[in-house]
């Protein structure tokens, strides 16, 4: 009997141009936009740490230098803060460094911006023949059990790809990949097909794919065979749809928790406002400022 595999590696594709956030994204990478007092990428790293991920591979564009700085220890800055007696700021840096010590990081620089499927192909030599998690920083998921760990728990017994799912109203489904499938347990589905951004009223179900997936190495052969769409992109969801069509077992799990969508300006602005208002340290001050301005 083959030994069951576990997931300890994650691939984070952040190679995109962030065009939905222009002109902001000319100066700052999307994953560093704030949610409250922390950038989006920080929430994902916390989730990965709590889920037992040990190795993280970033697929980046040439202009993603802020990420390298964020992941490196700033000893000179720490010394300055210590000398100035800025204990609170120093504690914030120390907390970040303690989080980052849980991982080893690698970077794949992608010169071509050709979609998330192409980005995953660039990480092949790093993940090898092991299963791996794919996670997107602009999907922030708050849950009692970390979202990535929820999918890992399914993978532990299935040993096959697992996609995070959320049930959405019909009018919102045209912006997402949507599965069709058979329910086999509470929250668990066997995927029979995937439709990427179905026309309004044509979605096969109400189950949309969110930015968490566990993949197995056989995805790479499908990605190599997937042709680019009209935008010149190789789309990961389309490759998974072909796997399902070929009868390859793929599962979907309706995640438990709150999904905060930050992939466009509207979603991010709403999420950032809520995170700021409920912040344990600054929330009261923000709420009072909003009242004074008579905004709501």
Does residue 64 belong to any structural domain of this protein? yes
Fill in the DSSP letter of residue 215. Answer: E
For residues 240 and 56, what is the distance between their CA atoms, to the nearest angstrom? 22
Structural domain boundaries, residue 69? 9-293
Looking at the structure of the chain, the number of domains it has is 1
Q: How many angstroms separate the Cα of 98 from the Cα of each of 2, 51, 90, 91, 92?
A: 36, 16, 12, 10, 10
Q: What is the CATH number of the domain that holds 36?
A: 3.90.550.10
| Tokens at 69, concatenated | 């700085």
What are residue 129's phi and psi, to 5 degrees?
Answer: -100, 25
Q: Can you tell me the distance from the alpha carbon of 30 to that of 21, in angstroms, rounded to the nearest whole number?
A: 7
Token couple for 192? 């029979």
pLDDT by residue for the chain (296 residues), tens only, comes to 467 889 999 999 987 767 787 787 777 888 889 999 899 999 999 999 999 999 999 988 765 567 888 888 888 888 898 888 888 888 888 888 889 888 888 888 776 777 888 889 888 888 889 999 999 999 999 999 999 999 999 999 999 999 999 999 998 998 899 999 999 999 999 999 998 888 888 889 999 999 999 999 999 999 998 887 877 888 898 899 899 999 999 999 999 999 998 988 999 999 999 999 999 888 999 999 988 888 87
What is the C-alpha separation between 54 and 107, in angstroms, rounded?
A: 15
What is the distance between the alpha carbons of residues 154 and 157, in angstroms, rounded to a whole number?
6
d(C-alpha 96, C-alpha 46), whole Å: 10
Q: What is the pLDDT of residue 215?
A: 96
In a domain, 3, yes or no: no
Q: Is residue 107 part of a domain?
A: yes
Residue 267 CA, chain-centre distance (Å), reads 15
SS3 85: coil
Distances (CA, A) of 77 to 69, 71, 73, 88, 101: 12, 14, 9, 13, 18
Q: What is the pLDDT of residue 142?
A: 96
What is the C-alpha separation between 135 and 120, in angstroms, rounded?
11
pLDDT value for 62: 65
Q: How far apart are CA 148 and CA 257, in angstroms?
A: 11
Give pLDDT, residue 83.
86
């Amino acid at each position: 009997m083959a030994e069951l595999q576990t997931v300890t590696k994650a691939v984070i594709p952040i190679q995109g141009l962030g065009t939905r956030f222009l002109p902001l994204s000319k100066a700052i990478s999307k994953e560093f936009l704030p949610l409250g007092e922390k950038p989006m990428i920080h929430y994902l790293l916390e989730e990965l740490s709590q889920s037992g991920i040990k190795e993280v591979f970033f697929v980046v564009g040439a202009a993603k230098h802020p990420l390298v700085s964020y992941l490196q220890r700033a000893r000179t800055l720490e010394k300055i803060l210590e000398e100035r007696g800025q204990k609170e700021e120093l504690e914030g840096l120390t907390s970040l460094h303690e989080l980052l010590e849980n991982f080893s990081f690698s970077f794949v620089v992608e010169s071509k911006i050709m979609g998330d499927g192409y980005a995953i192909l660039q990480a092949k030599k790093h993940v090898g023949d092991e299963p791996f998690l794919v996670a997107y920083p602009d999907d922030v998921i708050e849950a009692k059990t970390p979202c990535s760990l929820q999918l890992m728990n399914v993978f532990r017994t299935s040993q096959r790809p697992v996609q995070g799912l959320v049930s959405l109203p019909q009018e919102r489904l045209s912006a997402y990949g949507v599965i069709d499938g058979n329910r086999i347990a509470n929250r668990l589905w066997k995927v029979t097909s995937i439709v990427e951004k179905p026309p309004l009223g044509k979605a096969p179900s109400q189950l949309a794919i969110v930015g968490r997936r566990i993949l197995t190495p056989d995805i790479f052969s499908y990605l190599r065979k997937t042709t680019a769409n009209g935008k010149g992109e190789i789309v990961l969801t389309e490759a998974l749809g072909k796997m399902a069509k070929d009868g390859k077992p793929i599962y979907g799990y309706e995640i438990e928790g709150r999904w905060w969508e930050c992939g466009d300006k509207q979603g991010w602005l709403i999420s950032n406002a809520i995170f700021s208002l409920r912040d344990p340290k600054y929330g009261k001050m923000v709420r009072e400022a909003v009242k004074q301005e008579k905004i709501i």
